[in-house]
Amino acid sequence: MNVNAPQRSGLHIPFDHTRLDRLMDAAGIDVAIATSKHNVQYLLGGHRANFFDYMDATGVTRYLPVFVYPKAQPEKAAYIGHRLEKFQTQVKALWTPETQTVTAGSVDAMQKAVDYMKKAGIKSKRIAAEFGFLPYDASLVLRNAFPDAEWVDALYVFERQRAKKSAAELATLKVASEAVLASMQATIAAAMPGISKQDVVERLRREETDRGLTFEYCLITCGTSMNRAPSEQKWERGDVMSIDSGGNYRGYIGDICRMAIQGEPDTELNDLLGEIESIQRAAMTPVRAGAMGREIYAAAEPLRAKSKHHNHLDFLAHGMGMVSHEAPRLTDRGPVPYPNEYANQPLEAGMVVSVETTLLHPTRGFIKLEDTVAVTENGHEIYGEGARGWNRAGH
């Protein structure tokens, strides 16, 4: 919850609603409707249906949370949830003035939202909905209810809202990142020669879970192979390993990558990882409030370009928070295609950027570092700092 968010009389709104109002006004949006679990969780200050945390399918339909926010009228905000959520709301009430936990699927959830919007007299000339997170049957209900409305994708206004994290959100991201790092260190320390990639990932999953995280993924390579999927490939003495994992803590993702080796690294391996570390540090140097997003790439590119391994080196910086590759989005040439409007906008304190440098060395294998970096007023803070060199397995 953002305890510093401005409050409307009688309401304890868990996000900066005046910022959302400005963003909606700039986009000409009358009402925004959130249907993704992450945006609903954000707007409700942490609430997430525990029964549907993993799966959305139920019977012949699916779970669909619906959050309705009319511009500059938080007193008319509403949440429409599943009937099983009533138990959670009995334990902890939601802030929304209208809360209904009576639905069973996607169609009735949207119908309840439509009925409420009409009853409350919410202006609906221009409606923002999450196109990528709105099932077809529910979208038909919404469009049929407001046939004359203009429609825009709510993704961009919601991600701009979430881009500037509160102090509580930053603290959560820091916990997530540090727990992922500690899990990696424990996993590597326990790994003996001959262990499979699959077993390494399973150990990492348990370590992250034991630290209160929800294990999301692990991209893992071993030896000279570039394959990043868990497998029965053995991690033998002398082999390098990259471990790139995301662990979720209360809705926020800690995402880092570290390197390990069975045995001792030779001079070349130390030099290669040292070069990657240099690019990482250079890229992070300009990160501060007011710096243009493009400065991150401008700082990293000269070192990448002059490297004798430049044909095998990739650099990427992207936003991180509740969603991987969220705003600020700084490039349109990365592995995940998206517009790069933040490249030419100033970074704000509270934004979080993942910085990663990857070397696909033709004979030494996959070598990478990834760091989560929070923008501050006077600079930046790295979450999960440490273990940046070669981590020895079995120690």
Count of domains observed in the chain: 2
Residues 143 and 182 in one domain: no
5, part of any domain: no
Residues 196 and 256 in one domain: yes
217, part of any domain: yes
Interacting residues of 65 by C-beta distance below 8 A, sequence separation 6+: 34, 35, 37, 40, 49, 79, 80, 81, 82, 109
- Look up the CATH number of the domain holding residue 34: 3.40.350.10
Residues 372 and 246 in one domain: yes
255, part of any domain: yes
- Look up the CATH number of the domain holding residue 211: 3.90.230.10
Residues 43 and 155 in one domain: yes
Name the domain boundary from 112, 140, 162. 162
Q: What is the mean pLDDT of residues 359-376?
A: 98
Q: Which of 243, 375, 387 is nearest to 321 (CA)?
A: 375
Residues 103 and 178 in one domain: no
Q: What is the mean pLDDT of residues 130-142?
A: 98
With 50 as the cut, is the pLDDT of residue 1 above it?
no
Cβ atoms of 248 and 214 closer than 8 Å: yes
Mean pLDDT for the chain?
Answer: 96
9, part of any domain: no
Residues 61 and 189 in one domain: no
Residues 297 and 209 in one domain: yes
Spell 21-58 as b/e; 16+ CB within 10 A means b: bebbeebebbbbbbbbbbbbbbbbbebbbeebeeeeee
- Judge if pTM exceeds 0.85: yes
Could you report the per-residue pLDDT of 142-183, keeping only the tens digit for each? 999 999 999 999 999 999 999 999 999 999 999 999 999 999
Cα 122 from Cα 229, distance rounded (Å): 48
- Which uninterrupted H or E stretch holds 210? helix 197-210
6, part of any domain: no
Could you report the per-residue pLDDT of 23-39, keeping only the tens digit for each? 999 999 999 999 999 99
Residues 148 and 195 in one domain: no
Residues 250 and 331 in one domain: yes
**Structural domain containing residue 27:** 17-162
Residues 199 and 120 in one domain: no
Name the domain boundary from 132, 162, 192. 162
Name the domain boundary from 162, 197, 230. 162
If one counts every other C-beta atom within 10 angstroms of the C-beta of residue 170, the result is 21
Q: Residue 340: exposed, middle, or buried by beta-carbon count in 10 A (0-12, 13-18, 19+)?
A: middle
Dig out the tokens for 6 from the structure: 């401005």
